Amino acid sequence: MPRGPQGQKRPADVIGNAVRVMRIATGEETEELDSVKSAAAELGSRGGKARAAKMTPARRAEIARKAANRVGAHNFQLTT
pTM for the full predicted model: 0.36
pLDDT at position 46, please?
A: 83
H or E segment to which residue 33 belongs: none
pLDDT of residue 13: 84
| 35-72 residue pLDDT tens | 566 677 778 878 888 888 899 999 999 988 888 887 65
Closest CA to 64 of 74, 53, 52: 52
pLDDT value at 78 more than 60: no
CA distance 78 to 67: 12
Q: Are 32 and 4 spatial neighbours (Cβ–Cβ below 8 Å)?
A: no
Euclidean distance between CA atoms 22 and 60, whole angstroms: 50
Q: Quote the pLDDT of residue 54.
A: 92
Residue 48 or residue 74, greater confidence: 48
Rounded-to-integer distance, Cα 24 and Cα 35, Å:
18
